[in-house]
Structure 1
């Protein structure tokens, strides 16, 4: 009985962490330092080719593949 309860709890924890970053699950952001503009950092997704600028530390938090390309 303890094993079954442990497996159920483990499954719930894994499900919570799997849904945590589902907006960027398919994105693999790479910083493009040559494209930086002042304090804005340029990132390009290796999976879909989307480009984004951010002033925050780290890559964008959402996928930008649905935005029109310029």
Structure 2
């Protein structure tokens, strides 16, 4: 019984994690420090070529390409 409950909890955790990262699944952001503008950091997607600036720590959380979501 404990194994079944553990498997259900693990499945729910994996499903929530996969859903959270759905918007950036296709993008592979790389930081480009030569294009920074003050506090904004420049990122370029190695997959689709989209460019984005962000003030937060880390890469953008959503895909900037014009491709339809998977």
Q: Fold-level match, TM-score > 0.5? A: yes
In our comparison, the structure showing a higher alpha carbon Rg is 1
Structure 1 partner of 2:32: 32
In the TM superposition, residue 39 of structure 1 has moved relative to its aligned partner by: 2.2
Equivalent residue, structure 2, for 1:64: 64
* Runs of at least 5 residues in structure 2 that lack an aligned partner in the other structure: none
Instruction: Work out the number of aligned pairs and report it.
Output: 67
Q: Which residue of 1 aligns with 2:47?
A: 47
Equivalence for 2:7: 7
**Superimposed CA distance per residue, residues 34-65 of structure 1 (whole angstroms, 9 cap, x where no aligned partner):** 11122221100111111011122221111100
TM-score (norm 1): 0.78
Distance 1:55 1:3, change over 3 A: closer
Following the alignment from structure 1 to structure 2, what is the Cα–Cα distance between the partners of residues 5 and 57? Answer: 36
What CA RMSD, in Å, does the superposition of the two structures yield over aligned residues? 1.7
**Quick one: structure 1 residues 49 and 12, their matched pair in 2 at CA, closer, same or farther if it must change by over 3 Å?**
same
